[in-house]
A and B are shown apart, each in its own frame.
Chain A
Amino acid sequence: MKLERLTCRRRVALLCGELDGELSPALRRVLSAHRRGCLPCADLLRGLRRTVESLRSSMSATGPSAKARKRLSAALRRTL
């Protein structure tokens, strides 16, 4: 497969597939070899990976406040 000939949409889909562990080993090897010689694709994958990491870590410790929990309990009691 000639990755240089792929559309941007297809390239992003492939790199996201790589990120999500959805590619076959053979395709991963092709993509990995391509990235070694293609700075934009290597940079794009790095950027996408960091984007996902940023999303994940910005939300990792989020939970409802005690006030929100209390409000939910009161609302549930009213529905009983």
Chain B
Amino acid sequence: MIKLSASGDPEAFGRLITRYEDRIFRLAKSVCAGLPSDAEDVYQETFLTAFKKMRGFRADSDLGTWLYRIASNLCFMRYRKKSREPFVPLLDRPHDHDHEGSGRQYPDGEPTPEEGARKKELALQVSRALAKLPVDYRLVLTLRDVEGLSAGKTAKALGLSVAAVKSRLHRGRLFLRDEFARETR
């Protein structure tokens, strides 16, 4: 499929899209928090870029990681200059977790008649919280916690060290935890 796609075979590339499009779209939607048209643009641009660069793809590389890398670069280019992205250093407040979080209510996941509405609200809540994070944090959180990539693959997709991935992941999770707690108070 990769060889045929690289030779410009549209059918083979179509199969490649089918295999990876949900993953790429999820990444784009998560990083373009709350902006569906941006997510669709990133999704489209990712596969167009992949199609154009397919000849340069090394057969010993991981195709999924390569596509994530293209999509991540597109997200990064799109958002690095957009909005001010306010961000407070998260772990420089040594005792925050001693006082926050206890007593907050989380959805318990049991199916109820309101499940659809609850899921929608959860998606909105996640989008709002993600939108407050810088794009590189959103990328790390999405690749690790939504897509389930290892720290090593996430580092490869983003061109970061594993230590940098972990640092952003931990800070990002803590930030989201605080945001969710704030919203449910």
Contacts and interface: CB of A to CB of B under 8 A. Distances in A.
B29 A52 contact: no
A7 interface: yes
B80 interface: no
A16 B94 contact: no
Interface string B39-61: 01001100110011000000000
A23 interface: no
Interface in A20-57: 20, 39-41, 43-44, 46-48, 50-57
A45 to B, nearest CB: 10
A63 B174 contact: no
A72 B46 CA distance: 10
Interface of B: 8, 10, 13, 17, 21-22, 25-26, 29-30, 40, 43-44, 47-48, 51-52, 91, 93-99, 101-102, 104, 106-107, 109, 119, 122-123, 125-127, 141-142, 145-146, 151, 166, 169-170, 173-174, 176-177, 180-181
